[in-house]
Every structure is written in C-alpha cells, then in structure tokens.
Structure 1
C-alpha cells in the first residue's frame, strides 16, 4: 500500500459550507472514483482537512461514510487506505445481478396496473433521452427505472443490501452508457423487463434482469 495523499483536492469555499461533511464526502469520493486517489493510497485525516480548508471533524464523518460504501478500509495501527478499484466492479456486478433478479421477481408478483403505467412513463422518458443523446438524462432515467422496480418489490432487506453496491452501480452505469449503441440496447432490455413485469411472469423478469445487468456490466468493464 502506498502512503502519500497530498494533492488532488481544492479547498471548500465558505458559501459551500451547508454541510462540510457532505462536501468532504463528495470531494474525496470523486477523487477515489476518478483515480486521483489510487487504490492503496493512504488517506490522512489532517492532510485531507488542510487541503479542503476545514477541520478534521467533517473529514472523520466523510471517511466513515466512504468506509461503509467499501471505498476505503481502515487497518488497525496502519491507517486508512483506498480499497476501491475498477476490478471490483465485475465482482460487485455478479452480486448486484443476483440481488436485482430477486427484486424484479418479487415485483412481478406484486405489481399493479398503475405501477405498470408508471414504469411505462419512465421508459418513455428514457426513450426520449436516448433519442436526444442526453447522457445525463439517460443515466438518471435508467436509475429511476430500477429504483421504481425496487419500490414495487418493497423488500427492505434487499434494498439495504443493494444500497451497499450503489457506488459500483453508479460508476458502471455512467461508464457503460457512454459506449456507442449502449443506451439503445439498454432501452430495449428495459422494455423487455417491463414486458415480463406487465405479464406478471416472475421467471422471465428474473432472467431478463440478470442477463441485462451481467451484459451491461461486462461492457462497462471492457470500456473502463
């Protein structure tokens, strides 16, 4: 593990200080995900606080959140290190595929006509964003589609498990949707998942969700 941590962060301005812990979390998280803070890099609270021009208290809070997400790890008597690496994304995708396939199975067993209509509205938004080549809107509508399925499934335990994978899901989604043709393919796969949900077919919905996640995550790893 490397031990340096200086450089790569800009001070937080006074007008941004609504929540210093939130700002610190966002800045450090972005530095990790973009590779500014490489895997194995040691993160020192005092040095991070100096770079962001804040006290160490919000830094401590930010690091706790990052450790909960699995982006950093604290080793007793050694310090705190970046544990995230892009290679982990493929492993996390396998876990996410397993969890989300169960979520969509439950959703297919519970979904109402009104909820089918809501998913159709989300899919229409995704289609417009795809046709307009609006990357941010595609990413947002994609995430909302999956979030609505999770809401329909209504299983707090699965939701909690998926929350721990959120950072990997977000990063992979942003990376893969930049690839040529991926937004259109993802749209088609979401439409197929919705078709299975509307038919109240748990097995089909489960299979299509698993195939969608594994295929897109594999492409995200290749693109990365």
Structure 2
C-alpha cells in the first residue's frame, strides 16, 4: 500500500461488513468479530494508491480490530474514525446537522481531498450499506462497490465477497473500462473457520465516548422521527 502517493486515486474501506463481520448465536457460541479475508495486507500491498479505513467506530477500537484481522495499521494510508467524522460533521453540518443526520460518511470527503491531494471523483469506496454508498455518490464519489454481507446459519457460513475480485473492478474503473456509480460485488459463501476468529466483540471493544455519543444520537433522531410522524 502506498500511503503517500497523490493523484493516483484512493481506496476507502468500510470496516464492519467489509473487513470484519460481527456475529453471535446461533452461528457462534458467543458474540465475536470475525475476519472476512485471508492475507488482506498482502492484497492491499499490491495497490499503487493509499488505502484508508472509514468507520463509525472509534479510532482506538478500529485499530484493535484491524490488528486482530491481520491488517497492519502502519501500512494503511490512515483510519478515518468516529472522531474525524464528528469533527467533519460539526464543520460542514453544524450541531443541528449531526443531530439530524448522524455521522454521515460524506462529510469526510473534503478532509480526505485536503490530506491526500486526491479529488473525490478519483476515490473508490467499498461498503456493505447502500445508504452510505448513495450518500457519498451524491457528493461526488467516483466509484461505489457494494459488498454483500450476511450469514448462513445452517451451514455455519458467512456471505461476503472476493477481495481480489473487488480490486479487479477498481483497476477496470481506473483504466476507464468500468463506469462509476454503484457496482454490486458478487456474493461468495465462506465457512466459518478457526482462522477467522479474533476473540474480540463490541461489548468489550466498544466502551468509548464516541460509541456512547452515537447511541445517544440515534435515540434523539428516533425521537424526532416519531414526533414528526405523530
């Protein structure tokens, strides 16, 4: 991964549902965060552009999860976590905007452009939530890759995607052979094997002021929604 090369594009990665998947009974005996891809650092090392993780988790929490998932944080272009999203949200949406919309990922685009010297039209993003992809596309993102994310309890399997295949789509887009917009990555089914286990879960890793603030924000937005509906 080249963390400094500018002007060559940039890859944003969501964390949950793209790099890891959190599940519990009946798939697992207890709540646990699972790795989705083997050898991810090696795959990302082949890219000639920065790779940045964009997550609603806190920076400390995200770094711990990435390490457990076999991703060397020092070799990433960076982590844009809840802390950065909050600052960007307050800057571009104000307190009212953050309360109304939560930590919208599109608010981070100006900071990424400034920090890496890369236009948002040259940024690709892999996320499992369509609303996040649609939000960033509406604000000028170049390529949105939708990651399938599910479980098949009967076969103790995860539904995810082939990361190498995702990188092929990004290469095609950079070469002008694939248009922008949302591209759905084909679903692949993977057995839950021991190497996927991290020993981490949200209850243990998620005790952080930003996670508490997110829960408060969700509760406030739900209250406002119910008031408008009544």
Check whether TM > 0.5: no
- TM-score between both structures, scaled by the size of structure 1: 0.23
Query: In proportion to residue count, which structure has more helix?
Result: 1
Query: In proportion to residue count, which structure has more strand?
Result: 2
